[in-house]
Amino acid sequence: MSEPILRVERLRKVFRYSNPDPNSNTADMWFSYLLGLLGKDAGPFGAERRTVVALDGLSFEVGWGEFFGVLGPNGAGKTTLVKVLATVLRPDSGRVVINGHDTSQETARVRASISVVPAAGWLGFDSQLTAGRNLEFWGRIYGLDRKQAHERSFEALKAVGLEEWYSESPGHLSSGMRQRLAVARGLLFHAPMFILDEPTANVDPAAAYQIRDFIRNELNRGLGQTVLFTTHNMSEAEQLCDRVAIVDRGRLLARDRPSALVAALPDRVVEVRLPSRARDALREIRERGIALHVTDYFEGEDSGRLRMQLRSGVDEDSVDRALSSAGLEASSIRRVQPNLEDVFLHHTGRRLDGDA
């Protein structure tokens, strides 16, 4: 196999800090300081040393031209990973090689190989200039000539659906529109690899569609560029990616094509529909320990629905029997295709969106 464009090897990053931060100048900080002077234990207000393992031995590779997703919930370590790839944060240990260059030794070469769209990237635009001029400025910084900078700026604004805002100040844009402007900035410079940290977070569905369409169809399929993007949206990852790495608490849980991840799931996922009494059905299923996890529950006026991962050895018939013996009649019980949310739940016992 040829050398991949990105190789991440046993990456580890631990954050150590005090809470409250001794430099924070907050009331909590002063309270804890004064109690300390008096030689008293500050109790719940005391400064506490905290250690967070943000990346815990993460390894994976991305091949040239791949569309690769890093899927994980809040706090999984996605932004920390992106910062390490972008050479703005040094890992404690492990190694990253991008386009043949080591991020800890060949920073300039790595930076020339990637175009990064950071999360909350709307910071850093000048509201004295128009949106278009801001992009042109960044284009010039990236080394484009005046004409290229103008053309690319317009093309990038169009890609994120903001072409009509070319002459407006970024200060007049909503936060979702500013996020789109930040994505546009990343599109000015065509490096071999695009790295985008949650490019569709905080963006409405139509704009999210436009951003996805552009990065998948124009950048990746059209121009053949490699894309790594992070998301906590499992259906986005499932629909878009050639391959997905599912991460949680800095660890890799699984990595493969979305269809292969789903196919490898040993658990049977079923959907039960009922004309009524879905709540009773839920209780019955919980009491009998039939399901490993109930992943969806809905009770309406004249219909109800339950979706669940079944415990091993349990099938649709056992669900039917259990419900019937409790006087509940399902209108249908059918096996359904699992999704990446089911894969995440299988590995962690938790939902991707954080609800248990």
Q: Which stretch binds ligand ATP (CB under 6 A): 77-85, 128-136, 262-270, 346-354?
A: 77-85
Local structure of residue 45 (DSSP, 8 states): G
- Return the exposure string of 165-197: e unless at least 16 CB atoms fall within 10 Å of the residue's CB, then b: beeebbeebeebbbbbbbbbbbbbbebbbbbbb
Query: Does 15 interact with ligand ATP (rule: CB under 6 A)?
Result: yes
Q: How far is CA 321 from the centre of its chain?
A: 40
Residue facing Mg ion at closest CB distance: 79
Query: Does 233 interact with Mg ion (rule: CB under 5 A)?
Result: no
Q: Which residues contact 323 (CB under 8 A, 6 or more apart)?
A: 272, 274, 281, 284, 285, 329, 330
d(CA 210, CA 156): 12
Nearer to Mg ion, 32 or 231 (CB): 231
d(CA 287, CA 302): 24
What's the min distance (Å) between Cβ of 179 and ligand ATP? 13
Q: Which stretch binds ligand ATP (CB under 6 A): 27-35, 78-86, 295-303, 336-344?
A: 78-86
Query: Does 21 interact with ligand ATP (rule: CB under 6 A)?
Result: no
Chosen from ligand ATP, Mg ion, none, partner binding at 232 (C-beta under 5 to 8 Å by type):
ligand ATP
- Return the exposure string of 116-147: e unless at least 16 CB atoms fall within 10 Å of the residue's CB, then b: bbbbebbeebeeeebbbbbbbbbbeebebeee
Q: At 116, which amino acid appears?
A: V
Query: Does 200 interact with Mg ion (rule: CB under 5 A)?
Result: no
Contacting ligand ATP (CB under 6 A), which of 27, 34, 41, 74? Answer: 74
Give helix 131-141 / helix 146-159 axis angle, nearest 10°: 130
What's the min distance (Å) between Cβ of 79 and ligand ATP? 3
Contacting ligand ATP (CB under 6 A), which of 47, 54, 149, 244? Answer: 54
Site for ligand ATP in 177-206 (CB under 6 A): none
Contacting Mg ion (CB under 5 A), which of 79, 113, 153, 220? Answer: 79
Local structure of residue 149 (DSSP, 8 states): H
Query: Does 72 interact with ligand ATP (rule: CB under 6 A)?
Result: yes
Minimal CA–CA distance to 17: which of 50, 53, 55, 46? 50
**Placement of tokens 């993460």 in the chain:** 58
Contacting ligand ATP (CB under 6 A), which of 46, 57, 75, 176? Answer: 75
Summarize as ranges the residues that interact with ligand ATP (CB under 6 A): 15, 17, 52, 54, 72, 74-80, 119, 232
